[in-house]
Structure 1
Amino acid sequence: MSKQSQAILCVDDEVIILNSLKTQLQNQLGDAFIIEAAESAEEALEVVEFLNKKQIKTLLIISDWLMPRMKGDEFLIKVHQKYPNIATMMLSGHVDKAAIDNAIKHAQLKAFISKPWDEKDLAAQIKKVLALP
Structure 2
Amino acid sequence: MSRSAILCVDDETLILDSLKEQLLRLFGNRYLYETATDAAEAWEVIDELSREGIDLLVIVSDWLMPGVRGDEFLAQVHRRYPSIVKVMLTGQADAEAIERARREANLHACLHKPWSERELAQVIESALG
TM bin, normalised by shorter chain, reads over 0.9
- Of 47, 64, 68, which residue of structure 2 is paired with 1:66? 64
Q: Say whether 1:89 aligns with 2:90.
A: no
Aligned counterparts, 1:1-133, within 5 A: 4-131=2-129
Contact 2:101–2:107 under 8 Å retained in 1: yes
Deviation beyond 3 Å, 4+ runs, structure 1: none
Shift of residue 91, structure 1, vs aligned partner: 0.9
Query: Which stretches in structure 1 are left out of the alignment for 5+ residues?
Result: none
Identity level (%): 47
Residue by residue over 1:12-36, the C-alpha shift from the partner in whole angstroms, topping out at 9 and shown as x without a partner, is 0000100010000000111110000
Q: Deviations over 1:89-131 (max 9, x none)?
A: 0111110111111110010000001000000111111101110
What's the offset of the Cα at 1:73? Answer: 0.2
Count of residues in correspondence between the two structures: 129
Question: Per-residue CA shift, 1:58-110, capped at 9, x if unaligned?
Answer: 00000000000000000000001111110000111110111111110010000
Checking the alignment, whether the CA contact within 8 Å between 2:2 and 2:32 is kept in structure 1 is yes
Distance 1:52 1:102 in 2: 27
Amino acid in structure 2 at the alignment position of 1:99: A
